[in-house]
A and B are shown apart, each in its own frame.
Chain A
Amino acid sequence: MQKPHTFDRFLIQRLGISFISLVAAFTMIPIVVVFGYIIFRGVPAISWQFLAAMPRDGMRAGGILPAIVGTFYLTLGTAVFSVPIGIAAAIYLSEYARENWITRLIRIAIINLAGIPSVVYGLFGLGLFVLFLKFGTSILSASLTLSIMTLPVIISAAEEALRAVPQSFRTVSISLGGTRWQTIRKIVLPQALPGIITGVILGLERAAGETAPILFTGAAFFLPHLPNSPLDATMALPYHLFVISTQVPGMPIQIQYGTALVLIVFVLGMNIAATVIRSRARAKRQW
């Protein structure tokens, strides 16, 4: 009496699971293909020459050193502004803020900052840093713009890391005569540090790969020499890739793939570093 019904259910299950697995495969395969293809076609272009020399012939030959250096400077500049403010804000939210309407407002603001389109950040950077504050198209303007964009990522990750530290540590520290800041400085912050560093690296990784925010605030395509000061414009890997793949006729394909590969390695290298730090810290944890 019940048999046909049971047969149906399990058949549906087998079909369903196969279907879902297919869907997942369809998602995974393109990922592998994308990476594989870039590596496959980009590796031939990589040489010490490519990485360390200046470009020639309107970027069609030679190396991409200024772009690499530029991305490095921009990442550094972003870190300088976003890391201290981001960590401090996270400390505030985790250790000081009470659950009231203004804290709720701060959280909404953070979510919003995270959701603003990157090109709108570019506009904002143009309006405020380049024009109003007269910093001009410079590493400074671009870094400040990228910093504000990176802030929500760092704050979220850092807050999570701080909250993960057991409350009992704080209670014990206070009961031994510690102030709130002493407790943070001596126990909470050191214990949360690996998680914070992971979050910082992931945030900076995003900043390193962004093009739109630096389009009008700091990126340039053809610069005869490396930047000398934060007020100089700079070349940058993502922008460079964009221009050579869309706006330069006669650009050798190999250089394009090579540039893409360098950018990926730069960005994903950071990703891997963050993952390694995270798992090593988890193993060494004393709680």
Chain B
Amino acid sequence: MDKIVIQDLNLQYPTGPQSLKDINLSIPANAITVLFGPAGGGKSSLLRCVNRLNDIIDVKSLTGRILLDGENVLDPKVDVIALRRRVGMVFARPVVLPMSIRENMTYGLELAGEKRKSRLEDAVERGLKHAALWEEVRERLDDPAIALSGGQQQRLCLARVLANQPEVILLDEPTSGLDPISTGKVETALQELKKDYTVVIVPHSVQQAARIADYGAFFLQGELIEAAEGKELFTQPKVKRTEDYVEGRFG
């Protein structure tokens, strides 16, 4: 049962070649789907289309549909604010807001107008636990978030997204700046999270992709080359170019 269905998606920025060409892809619920491929493949652009983050930058043309539970999120009549709460995003560099850890966590809910202290406190604890950060920060929730280490900050960004209780979590190279231990913690957290959420991640290496993918999609210069179940895609890819990339012959 597919959570997100992408149909005939074409994206063109004002400068440069076409970023996404005729993308057709289904993303199943409660699984980790990996979008991988060399730089410039359009993977980040695709993520930004799903939560309509591309609205804030100049786009020359965007056609096609992205169905979330059957409804097209690219429809201008859609409530983007509500959409962005349902579809959360973690970015490549950890961006903690210039506030305390607690305030970072409650930020999303406060945007939505949530004022009840109990609800906010619950969300803080729940989100931090699911991001495997709770034990490390429970004693210092009022410290500035900037005081955390890089790996902790990134997990805070993940926790912050979880506090909003989304349905989909998009991650754009979330561990690219992190050490292997922190990377491991994030990957473990994702394996737990997929039970309740739909996870779409752009990994920072093929190895990471192979480690965590339930499903995978290989992108090359704006085109979707091949999509299949994780095991299959990384051990017995059907298309030659996929095989070349997976085996490191280019990239």
Contact = CB atoms under 8 A, between A and B. Distances in A.
Interface of A: 168-169, 171-179, 182, 186-187, 191, 285-287
Contact of A171 (B53, B99, B111, B161): B53
A172 B82 CA distance: 15
A194 to B, nearest CB: 12
B108 interface: yes
A172 B95 contact: yes
Given A172-B95, A175-B51, A186-B107, 15 more contacts: A169-B97, A171-B56, A171-B91, A172-B97, A172-B157, A173-B111, A174-B84, A176-B160, A176-B161, A177-B81, A177-B82, A177-B84, A187-B98, A285-B98, A286-B144
Interface string B97-109: 1110000000110
A168 B111 contact: no
Given A168-B91, A176-B161, A182-B111, A286 B84 contact: no
B91 A174 contact: no
A55 to B, nearest CB: 51
A172 B91 contact: yes
Contact of B84 (A168, A169, A175): A175
Interface of B: 51, 53, 56, 81-82, 84-85, 88-89, 91, 93, 95, 97-99, 107-108, 110-112, 144-146, 157, 160-161, 164
Contact of A176 (B88, B98, B99): B88
A191 B84 contact: no
Contact of B88 (A175, A179, A285, A286): A175
A191 B53 CA distance: 23
Contacts, number: 62
Contacts of A171: 53, 56, 91, 95
Contacts of B144: 286
A173 B108 CA distance: 8
9 contacts: A168-B95, A172-B95, A172-B97, A176-B160, A179-B81, A186-B110, A286-B98, A286-B146, A287-B146
A174 B95 CA distance: 13
Given A171-B53, A171-B91, A187-B98, A176 B146 contact: no
Contacts of A177: 81-82, 84-85, 108, 111-112, 164
A176 B107 CA distance: 8
Main secondary structure, interface of A, reads: helix
B53 A169 contact: no
A186 B51 CA distance: 21
A161 to B, nearest CB: 14
Interface centre among B81, B88, B98 (most CB of A within 10 A): B98
A169 B164 contact: no
A169 B107 CA distance: 12
Given A286-B99, A286-B146, A176 B108 contact: yes
Contacts of B56: 171, 174
Contacts of A285: 98
A92 to B, nearest CB: 16
Contacts of B95: 168-169, 171-172
Contacts of B81: 177-179
A174 B48 CA distance: 12
Contacts of A175: 51, 53, 84, 88-89, 91
A171 to B, nearest CB: 7
A24 to B, nearest CB: 39
A191 B97 CA distance: 10
B142 to A, nearest CB: 13
B220 to A, nearest CB: 27
Contacts of A287: 98, 146
A272 B167 CA distance: 52
Contacts of A187: 97-98
B157 to A, nearest CB: 8
A105 B175 CA distance: 44
Given A174-B56, A176-B160, A169 B98 contact: yes
A168 B92 CA distance: 11
Given A286-B146, A287-B146, A176 B91 contact: no
Best-surrounded residue of A171, A172, A175, A285 (most CB of chain B within 10 A): A175
B39 to A, nearest CB: 20
B159 to A, nearest CB: 12
Contacts of A186: 107, 110-111
Nearest to B80: A177
A176 B112 CA distance: 9
A68 B93 CA distance: 53
A100 to B, nearest CB: 12
Contacts of A172: 91, 95, 97, 157
Among B82, B85, B107, the most chain A Cβ lie within 10 Å of the Cβ of: B107
